[in-house]
Amino acid sequence: MINQEGEKTMANYKIKSLNVMSVAKIGAILGLIFGLIWGIIMALAVGSMGVIAKELFPMAGLGAIAILVIAIIGGAIWGFVAGAVWSFVYNIAAGFVGPIEADLEV
């Protein structure tokens, strides 16, 4: 905002409530990204053990792929659920103690 003297000032905004579905979608995307990272790490670990296990079990390499897929899907699902729960809890808490206030510079 610009005051009467033409100087920039800070605007005070309040986050009174969060849209549960909107936050849940963002949570799902973040969960998917973290699931991908975690899945790659775990798949590499299991894949390195799969070289040894492949002599005993011919399909042992599929375990690494399964872990990667499960981590990605699980991360997206849990991110969605966590985002929905946290935004729901925020809305209830903001009703009791007031919203988050932020000073933003324009």
Contacts of 44 (CB under 8 A, 6+ apart): 64
Neighbours of 33 (CB within 10 A): 14
User: Would you say residue 51 has pLDDT above 90?
Assistant: no
Contacts of 42 (CB under 8 A, 6+ apart): 64, 67, 68, 71
* Residues spanned by the domain of 76: 18-97
- Encode pLDDT of 22-34 as tens digits: 999 999 999 999 9
Number of domains in the chain: 1
Residue 103 maps to a domain: no
- Encode pLDDT of 64-96 as tens digits: 788 889 999 999 999 999 999 999 999 999 999
**Beta bridge partners of residue 104, listed in sequence order:** 11
Backbone angles phi, psi at 9, to 5 degrees: -125, 170
Residue 2 maps to a domain: no
